[in-house]
Amino acid sequence: MVWRYGDHRAGGCDTAYPRRGWDAALSRRNARPLKDNKMRPRIAETAKTLWLIYVLLTVACALALWFAGMDAFDAIGHSFATIAIGGFSTHDASIGYFDSPTINTIIAIFLLISGCNYGLHFSLLSGRSLKVYWRDPEFRMFIGVQFSLVVICTLVLWFHNVYSSALMTINQAFFQVVSMATTAGFTTDSIAAGRSFCRYCFYVQLLSAVAPGQRAVA
């Protein structure tokens, strides 16, 4: 378990920076105009900033999970698997083992953050305002698709009385949609518990996957 979590941690860190170089090379090849979030030319400084972002997100996620009720080992391990979008859990029932809407929400939020282009996080840490996110068309599309499918799946699950309350229905729809969209693969319930239409939505999410410039680790 420690090895697998460490593999997520190392893989997420190692792939955070190289993707930047590939994106820049593709941009030059396609003669596209440079984006506002173009990273500093100094390789060492850029790599240091990206690692700092990764570490800060991991620590924040671990603390949030710990305060939400996970023990220290599970909180640290699942933060590695969440920020790296690896989806590994120490329990057969995955996140469903904890039976906690709060933990579901925390992991889903950090999966969304990790699924975004790290160039945007880089820009924010470099002094830009939060508006840098909404000005990016990739980010708007990514968030828009997730929001739309969460709403659709919530309505379908609620209409068919799959869960006992509206809040539980929203929580489950939010978590499952984001987990599929980021390819993390965390689960809180069997995918068969949802209606066929929701399952088709989840499959569509696998096609949309995450935004360019993130670091999903299989």
Question: Can you give the pLDDT at residue 213?
Answer: 46
Please say if the pLDDT value at position 31 is more than 50. Answer: no
Task: Round to whole Å and give the CA distance between 42 and 59.
Answer: 26
H-run or E-run covering 131: helix 131-134
**To the nearest 10°, the Cα dihedral for 91, 93, 99, 105?**
90
Residue 208 has a pLDDT of: 59
**Is residue 30's pLDDT more than 50?**
no
pLDDT value at residue 26: 41
Which pLDDT score, from 0 to 100, does residue 25 have?
A: 41
Most confident region among 36-40, 47-51, 176-180 by mean pLDDT: 176-180
In this prediction, residue 194 carries a pLDDT of: 58
Structure confidence at residue 41 (pLDDT)? 56
- Burial class for 210, CB neighbours closer than 10 Å (0-12, 13-18, 19+): buried
Q: Residue 113: is its pLDDT beyond 50?
A: yes
How many Cα atoms sit within 13 Å of 204 on the Cβ side? 15
137 burial level (CB within 10 Å; 0-12, 13-18, 19+): exposed
- Do 81 and 87 form a contact (C-beta atoms < 8 A)? yes
pLDDT (mean) for 159-174: 91
- Is the confidence at residue 157, as pLDDT, over 70? yes
pLDDT tens per residue, range 46-75: 778 888 888 999 999 999 999 999 999 999
> Which of 6-10, 46-50, 100-104, 114-118 shows the highest mean pLDDT?
100-104
Proportion of the chain above pLDDT 70, given as a percent: 68
Among residues 118, 184, 173, 111, the alpha carbon closest in space to that of 148 is found at 173
Average pLDDT of the chain to the nearest whole number: 78
Measure the CA dihedral 154/86/89/179, to 10°. Answer: 0
- Closest residue by Cα to residue 122 from 8, 11, 24, 7: 24
Q: Is the pLDDT at 138 greater than 90, yes or no?
A: no
pTM of the model: 0.78
Q: So what's the pLDDT on residue 189?
A: 83
